[in-house]
Chain A
């Protein structure tokens, strides 16, 4: 069964220079285990192809049931220099929540 991350998590994104940071937080422990399992750097690279042009770093915050990602080379130069409509990456957390993952029926 496929599920959108939007159904199991929320989050927020922002800028750190020319990198975007995306924090994604599961609503419950089961959801967090799914995030940990499915949100590998490889998976993130694929999802953000054409948006992220640099490396991706991945961090875990288990107490918050959250993962934090740094997507380098994503903001067209960053902050005040970028010509992008979303120069600070504020809609990228939502872009991550579009991702569909396979979960088994017992969820």
Chain B
């Protein structure tokens, strides 16, 4: 058994720094690379792609990324775990194996974790009595069933640990909790008893710290951010020990900062009741966590307590909810705010004359109060240099949203003066995809681990 393992975060979300995974595996010692590609509604985009082409449905960046990092990872025996498989982990794995073959890397073992996609099973599940009620509103899923675009269960660490036990070098999953990606290698390497909930919680906490990439190593830091070298930021690495102690660190050669404060900020990010951090693997108590700053960008995370997991999985569904569009114009001094407000009034009158069917219209003044609303300072207008008027609309009626998009540019010639900042043509309607979180009894869902076979 290893005396410690180094788990590196490679991506906090699909759209994160492209080079981060490459730097993690080349700038220092690493045993595992874990990458998260799935935001709440990413699955709906991937599902649409797969509906059009059965060979798609996974994070498109992955094959190119693998071309870059597979030689290094194979050479250094670095294992890769990612949920970038989306709604088609099998196709993703096949693409990765093609890349491996083209690089002359024989015998790499790629595993997929599937069974999370329950889009085709919704009727069966509802008929069996599970209404997949919205966790926030309590409404039954039947009200949006016809507009549903994706439905995926959040699996945890166990299927990934199973894949690692079967010798996988690369594990590609569908929907999995980010925390599970980091906990799984610890379960596998240290032979953890999955009912030792303090250990499960320790790995879960490490996963929460890693899951947003650079946000734990100096990014988006409301403390002393100015002193941090950001351009070449090193993403966080969890140096994990068999007793559940984890040291959060980063490669010395890269920028960023790991301190009590940077780690603490990530710990309080996107949590509800800290005593009840619920995952498929355990319920972690974030109030038990102790941090010790060891200096030199090393922070020890210890004392983590956990309780047994629930008997439910969380499900993330998405559904179509109309269209939206956004237009903006910039008004300079003098009277920047007065002019922006006047332009908004003119625009709304025109939209009213047109009889457009818009469910919501929202105007915000960027540079004035779009972030902090009523808490914003109200300076003497003569001191305001410029204001961006930003108008957004949402409606089930595509034509109305499209017509709104044609009403922005005319304001340049038929509205208040000294206006600019209009580029990119008419704002086009984009599909709004809404999120429907629900719970499903664990005994209704069947995770499956498959080792991919090479086709001769």
Residues of A with Cβ closer than 8 Å to B? Answer: 10-18, 21, 23-25, 27, 47, 49-51, 57, 59-66, 68, 70, 76, 78-81, 83-86, 90-95, 97-98
Contacts and interface: CB of A to CB of B under 8 A. Distances in A.
21 contacts: A10-B265, A11-B222, A21-B271, A23-B265, A23-B271, A27-B261, A57-B272, A60-B287, A61-B286, A62-B287, A63-B287, A64-B268, A78-B435, A80-B432, A81-B434, A83-B360, A83-B394, A84-B362, A91-B372, A95-B372, A98-B372
A45 B375 CA distance: 13
B274 A86 contact: no
B271 A57 contact: no
Point out which of A64, A65, A70 has the most chain B C-beta atoms below 10 A from its C-beta: A64
Contact of B362 (A14, A76, A91, A97): A76
B223 interface: yes
B264 interface: yes
Point out which of B271, B364, B375 has the most chain A C-beta atoms below 10 A from its C-beta: B375
B371 A14 contact: no
B50 interface: no
Interface of B: 40-41, 135-136, 215, 220-223, 261, 264-275, 286-291, 303, 321, 324, 326, 360, 362, 364, 366, 370-375, 390, 392-394, 432-435, 437
Nearest to B286: A61
Nearest to B372: A95
Given A59-B287, A80-B433, A84-B362, 10 more contacts: A11-B268, A23-B265, A24-B268, A64-B291, A66-B268, A79-B435, A80-B40, A80-B434, A83-B394, A85-B390
B374 A61 contact: no
A83 B289 contact: no
A-B CB proximity, top 8 nearest: A23-B268, A83-B392, A50-B374, A83-B362, A91-B371, A14-B270, A85-B370, A10-B222
Nearest to B360: A83
A78 B274 CA distance: 21
Contact of A51 (B321, B360, B375, B435): B375
Contacts of B275: 59
Contact of B223 (A10, A21, A62): A10
Contact of B136 (A15, A18, A97): A18
A40 B220 CA distance: 26
B48 to A, nearest CB: 14
Nearest to B388: A85
B374 A51 contact: yes
Contacts of A24: 268
A79 B41 contact: yes
A10 B261 contact: yes
A86 B373 CA distance: 10
A13 B303 CA distance: 25
Contacts of A12: 215, 220, 222, 265-266, 268-269
Contact of B274 (A15, A47, A59, A94): A59
A84 B40 contact: no
B273 A59 contact: yes
A70 B272 CA distance: 6
Point out which of A12, A18, A95 has the most chain B C-beta atoms below 10 A from its C-beta: A12
Contacts of A10: 221-223, 261, 265
Contacts of B364: 84-85
Nearest to A88: B270
A83 B290 CA distance: 38
A105 B41 CA distance: 51
Nearest to A93: B222
B324 A61 contact: no
Given A81-B321, A81-B432, A61 B287 contact: yes
Nearest to B369: A85
Given A11-B265, A17-B437, A25-B264, A98 B321 contact: no
A70 B273 CA distance: 8
Contact of B375 (A47, A62, A65, A90): A47
Contacts of A65: 264
A95 to B, nearest CB: 4
Contacts of B432: 80-81
A85 B366 contact: yes
A41 to B, nearest CB: 14
A27 B222 CA distance: 11
Contacts of A16: 270-272
A76 to B, nearest CB: 7
A62 B432 CA distance: 40
A23 B261 contact: no
Contacts of A11: 222, 265, 268
A95 B270 contact: no
A90 B366 CA distance: 15
